[in-house]
Amino acid sequence: MLYSIAMNFRHTICFPSARLCLDVCLDVCLALCLAATLLAQSKKASPGYTDTPILPGQRWHVHDSNRPHPNPVTPGKILGEAPSDAIVLFDGHDLSRWMQNPGGKPVDARWKVVENGYFECVPRSGDLLTRDKFGDVQLHIEWSEPTDVKGTSQERGNSGVLLMDRYEIQVLDSYNDLTYADGQAGALYGQWPPLVNPIRKPGEWQAYDIVFEAPKFDGEKLVRPAFATVFFNGVLVHHRKEILGTMVHRQVARYTPHGAEEPLALQDHGNPVRYRNVWLRRLNGYDQPER
Ligand code: MG
């Protein structure tokens, strides 16, 4: 189209000097149009096939050329750094993405932000909750136990990562201290101990990388339980383990229906546990539209 317009315009020019100048300009324009067309065509044409078998359970051919390509994400430069599509819940400065809910009345977060980039539980102020709600997520969170070691078992540096405000990955000082196995650091509390105990000393930073699949309900009925995969300081401690239900003490956990998305919470268990570098990614599944 652009090519034909340019050629028609060229044929309407009569003056020789003007004609020469326009010829050069039009040649450049035509070359640019041609390059742009070729670039657009090369971007559309994706390698692959459409005459191969359909993959079982999918709507795509093997090597399907029409299958959407995963969107690009820039990873963090160092392990644990948020990638480009993460929601950063704490970047070292403020707790504006968090709140607390004493007596069912939402208030700004009262946990303490400390200057060198972490925040700390203010004992007996209540759990900390995100203002936003989430379903399936990949979560990165770092935590540190008090160096002033006090108490034993569940009284020693207790906190917790409460997915959907109810499914707890235990946070505890389990370094050279015993508690019941399904209550130590990294446990799906009251359900499954971690596969191993890779905890560091109190005062050192620990990291959880969690893949959480939210439960699904149909009205009051559970149609799919929640699952958690957890890396503790880079070591696998749960591999897509089924969660039995809401965290509970001295009872068998069970599910109570709730929303498809709920806040992420951090537990106030009366100990000044510290957190930093908290981010998550919503998990949206395969074959998302290309951006
Ligand atoms: Mg706890």
Q: For the segment 214-227, what is each residue's pLDDT rounded down to a tens digit?
A: 999 999 999 999 99
In a domain, 114, yes or no: yes
Residue pair 143/271 in contact (Cβ under 8 Å)? The answer is no
In a domain, 147, yes or no: yes
Q: For the segment 236-272, what is each residue's pLDDT rounded down to a tens digit?
A: 999 999 999 999 999 999 999 999 999 999 999 999 9
Q: How far is the CA of 96 from the centre of ligand 1 (A)?
A: 23
Q: How far is the CA of 164 from the centre of ligand 1 (A)?
A: 15
Sequence letter at residue 48: G
Residue 153 and residue 228 in one domain: yes
Q: How far is the CA of 223 from the centre of ligand 1 (A)?
A: 27
Q: Say how far apart CA 2 and CA 32 lie, in whole Å.
A: 10
In a domain, 56, yes or no: no
Which stretches within the chain are classed as H helix?
2-12, 16-44
Q: How far is the CA of 44 from the centre of ligand 1 (A)?
A: 52
Residue 141 and residue 270 in one domain: yes
Residue 17 and residue 101 in one domain: no
pLDDT at residue number 27? 59
Q: How many domains are there within the chain?
A: 2
Mean pLDDT of the chain: 88
Q: How far is the CA of 195 from the centre of ligand 1 (A)?
A: 18
Residue 249 and residue 159 in one domain: yes
DSSP letters for 147-190: SS----GGGSS-EEEEETTTEEEEE---SS----GGGSTT-BTT
In a domain, 52, yes or no: no
Tokens 């020019």 sit at which residue?
13
pLDDT at residue number 72? 84
State the pLDDT confidence band at 200, using cuts at 50, 70 and 90: very high
Q: For the segment 66-78, what is each residue's pLDDT rounded down to a tens digit?
A: 999 888 888 888 8
Q: What are phi and psi of 171, to 5 degrees?
A: -115, 125
Residue 121 and residue 238 in one domain: yes
Residue 133 and residue 256 in one domain: yes
Q: How far is the CA of 23 from the centre of ligand 1 (A)?
A: 77
Q: Say how far apart CA 190 and CA 64 lie, in whole Å.
A: 45
Can you name the residues that pair with 65 across neighbouring β-strands?
none
Q: How far is the CA of 159 from the centre of ligand 1 (A)?
A: 4
Q: How far is the CA of 150 from the centre of ligand 1 (A)?
A: 16
Report whether pLDDT(123) > 50.
Answer: yes
Q: How far is the CA of 189 from the centre of ligand 1 (A)?
A: 7
Residue 271 and residue 201 in one domain: yes
Q: Say how far apart CA 141 and CA 161 lie, in whole Å.
A: 9
Query: In 3-state terms, what secondary structure has residue 102?
Result: helix
Q: How far is the CA of 102 from the centre of ligand 1 (A)?
A: 18
* pLDDT above 90 as % of the chain: 76
The model carries a pTM of: 0.81
Residue 37 and residue 133 in one domain: no
Residue 182 and residue 272 in one domain: yes
Q: How far is the CA of 181 from the centre of ligand 1 (A)?
A: 13
In a domain, 289, yes or no: no
Residue pair 262/134 in contact (Cβ under 8 Å)? The answer is yes
Q: How far is the CA of 226 from the centre of ligand 1 (A)?
A: 19
Q: How far is the CA of 71 from the centre of ligand 1 (A)?
A: 37
In a domain, 222, yes or no: yes
Q: Say how far apart CA 75 and CA 222 lie, in whole Å.
A: 36
User: Could you tell me the residue range of the domain that residue 27 belongs to?
Assistant: 2-42
Residue 120 belongs to a domain with what CATH number?
2.60.120.560
In a domain, 189, yes or no: yes
Residue 96 and residue 36 in one domain: no
Report whether pLDDT(19) > 60.
Answer: no
Q: How far is the CA of 72 from the centre of ligand 1 (A)?
A: 37
Residue 225 and residue 133 in one domain: yes
Report whether pLDDT(22) > 70.
Answer: no
Residue 124 and residue 228 in one domain: yes
Residue pair 254/126 in contact (Cβ under 8 Å)? The answer is no
In a domain, 60, yes or no: no
